Chain A
Amino acid sequence: METLGYLGQGFGVATTPLNLLTALCGTLIGTVVGLLPGLGPINGVALLIPIAFALGLPPETSLILLAAVYLGCEYGGRISSILLNIPGEASAVMTAMDGHPLARQGKGGIALSISAAGSFMGGLIATIGVTIFAPLLAKWAVAFGPAEYFVMMVFAITCLAGMAGNKPMKTAVASLIGLLLACVGIDSNSGVYRFTFGSLGLADGIQFVVLVLGLFSISEILVLLERTYYGQSALKTSGRMLFNVKEAMFVKWTVLRSGVVGFFMGILPGAGATMASAVAYMSEKRMASKDNRFGDGDLRGLAAPETANSAAACGSMVPMLTLGVPGSGTTAVMLGALTLYNITPGPLLFQTDPQLVWGLIASLFIANVMLVVMNIPLIRVFTKILAVPYWALVPGIAIVTAIGVYGVHATTFDLFLMIVIGVVGYILRKFDFPLSAVLLGFILGGIMEQNLRRALSISNGDLSILWSSPITWGGWALVVLMIVLPMYRGWRQRQVARPANP
């Protein structure tokens, strides 16, 4: 009941004219960014941070903007997946598997509308989940001391690596690089300059905006240069634009299951929308009867990943708000944006800043409704945007990126640093190191070290404080599970594969 009261207050915040307008702009921008091939939610959210600052928006409004953009991207990503077979972002990869075949069969309109409805349901299920679980987790998380927090961060990092499928080691390296980057600058405990090599520009550490825009924007510009997609045209959407009752009934259980799966995958730190859509797709495929047409234009194969990735996008707000541990690369960016406002996310946020937290949760509901209302009639307009050529798009992205970085400190040093980070990011990407892990590591690095040092100060250097409470035991157990489980799965797969190829 208490929760409903707070949620009511949240709606009070979210429905102010400014916040409604912000949510509307955010969902629109997000959809456009999401549907442009190559740009994903991280880029969209990162590019908007400097703008949100420049506009002087209050923290809850800019958070609503960023969340609306995030949800919008998850919606928009599917359009280019379905019509072009080019996923606008990683979490839309699974959508293309069945969405594009449907479009080729002339069912583009049905595919787009059913995926929009699926995204809506996913978002709705997950937002209800956030409303129920976030306050519970926040209450529980108040019991966390520095040692518990440290274990939690270790869990977040191992989760990331354990979930990363066939490249856990690369994810581990990427997140460790992120952790190390967080060490650059003055050590706040001792005042020692670390890894600055005499450069004044690095004394303050690497600025969050510089790192994000370097890793995601600059490296993306380089990747786009490589691609030869330029000139490829989208399939025309023809025929019926809206799904019918029979089709809706056909996917209803898929949507409900995928929404729940997506939400829980979203909560797990580091797993995020990409993993959620893959897991939902795979499990639906396994559950379907033998005569399924998965991969060949099955509506369930389209609904499952779309529902799950929207659900995961909302779900990833739970660890961000309650523990200050981002659930995905995009929430890591949002977390960074909050710290720019001097707001420390964590369990106490629910007490110190209820209007911020509940305003955000309420705006998730509103953004979802806006998206579905906007998406179904505006599909034809959005598909036109796919025709923007790269030569018009990329210079714009590059210039806005440069303005965003220059705006932080007004020094060109940051611009050069961003380019260097971008080139390194591009190389890491070429060798398949996930950049969102670097970002997550960077966000966690500072708090992780602070908590470790605080814990060891309390115990006077005795390491046993790290496993002195039930929460830490639970945490370490989860860490071990996250390491052992993927190894076991890999071993099982090899066992199964062996008889097939002797």
Chain B
Amino acid sequence: MIYQRLFLTALLIVYAVLAYAATTYEAPFSYEPVGPRAFPLLLLALLAVSTVYLLIRPGQMAEENAETPLTGHVLGRLVLCVLALSLFAFFFEKLGFVVAAFLFAIAMCRLYNGRWVTSVITGAVMSVAFYVLFDRLLDVPLPLGVLSGLGV
């Protein structure tokens, strides 16, 4: 319950920042009575009221959440997963899709309890197969990055 209250409080702070930003929105010229800030401000007001209500009466937690409590170990893995995703996004263009996806897939396989050998094989197969499938067959341009010199 305490975590939910912390989260709700954080949300309230976000609303306040957004509301401050919204008050500055003014149309340079306008031929309609409402303007760009009324609707967001209305939403933020409603959000604030309902969030405060939840702070006072938080309601019950889902059963699903009771089933998988967030232990330090799980939390650590979640952080690693987000880190892997972020690094994948960071290197997506710099290293190119194939290399980034290869490394990322290995990391993800390991996170989900894959063994080293299977992880490396999965990484290699997935990175090349998805590149061929999307870039070559489906015409979704994917960056080649460091491999662009190979002339593939």
Contact = CB atoms under 8 A, between A and B. Distances in A.
Contacts of A457: 31-34
Contacts of B31: 457
A399 interface: yes
A210 to B, nearest CB: 12
Contacts of B33: 456-457, 460-461
A391 B68 contact: no
Interface string A218-243: 10011011111010000000000000
A160 B140 CA distance: 36
B62 A390 contact: no
A396 B122 CA distance: 9
Contacts of B36: 187, 189-190, 192, 194
B47 A180 contact: yes
Nearest to B51: A173
A410 to B, nearest CB: 7
Contacts of B7: 427, 431
A419 B39 contact: no
A183 B122 contact: no
B86 interface: yes
A402 B88 contact: yes
B40 A194 contact: yes
Nearest to A417: B89
A201 interface: no
Given A194-B40, A227-B68, A396 B113 contact: no
Contacts of B97: 403
B41 to A, nearest CB: 10
Contact of B92 (A227, A415, A422): A415
Contact of B50 (A50, A55, A176): A176
A294 interface: no
A453 interface: yes
Interface in A447-470: 449, 452-453, 456-457, 460-461
A225 B59 contact: no
Nearest to A226: B68
Given A179-B43, A461-B34, A398 B68 contact: no
Nearest to A192: B36
**Chain B contact residues: helix, strand, loop or mixed:** helix
A449 B50 contact: no
A54 interface: yes
Contact of A180 (B44, B50, B93, B122): B44
A230 B130 contact: no
A197 B18 CA distance: 10
B61 to A, nearest CB: 6
How many A residues touch the partner, as a band?
Answer: 35 or more
A407 interface: yes
Contact of A453 (B22, B32, B139): B32
A452 B39 contact: yes
A419 B59 contact: no
B89 A415 contact: yes
Interface string B26-69: 11101111111001100110110011011001011110010010
B39 A449 contact: yes
Nearest to B57: A169
Which of A177, A392, A400, A452 counts the most B-chain CB atoms under 10 A from its CB? A392
Given A169-B50, A225-B78, A395-B123, A218 B114 contact: no
A456 B93 contact: no
A395 B68 contact: no
Interface in A153-174: 166-167, 169-170, 172-173
Contact of A390 (B26, B89, B112): B112
Given A406-B142, A430-B65, A431-B4, A395 B59 contact: no
Which of A167, A177, A226 counts the most B-chain CB atoms under 10 A from its CB? A226
A54 B141 CA distance: 10
Given A222-B81, A395-B108, A398-B104, A194 B4 contact: no
Interface string B1-40: 0011001000000000010011001111011111110011
Contact of A176 (B30, B43, B57): B43
B89 A419 contact: yes
B25 A192 contact: yes
Contacts of B147: none
Q: Which 8 A-B pairs have the closest CB atoms?
A: A391-B114, A461-B33, A190-B27, A415-B89, A54-B138, A395-B108, A391-B112, A187-B36
Interface of A: 50-51, 54-56, 166-167, 169-170, 172-173, 176-177, 179-180, 183, 187, 189-192, 194-195, 197, 218, 221-222, 224-228, 230, 389-392, 394-396, 398-400, 402-403, 406-407, 410, 412, 415-416, 419, 422-423, 426-427, 430-432, 449, 452-453, 456-457, 460-461
30 contacts: A50-B140, A169-B57, A172-B50, A176-B43, A179-B43, A180-B44, A187-B27, A190-B27, A194-B36, A222-B81, A225-B78, A225-B81, A226-B78, A230-B113, A389-B114, A390-B112, A390-B113, A394-B112, A395-B112, A398-B104, A402-B92, A403-B130, A412-B92, A427-B7, A431-B7, A432-B60, A432-B65, A453-B34, A456-B32, A457-B34
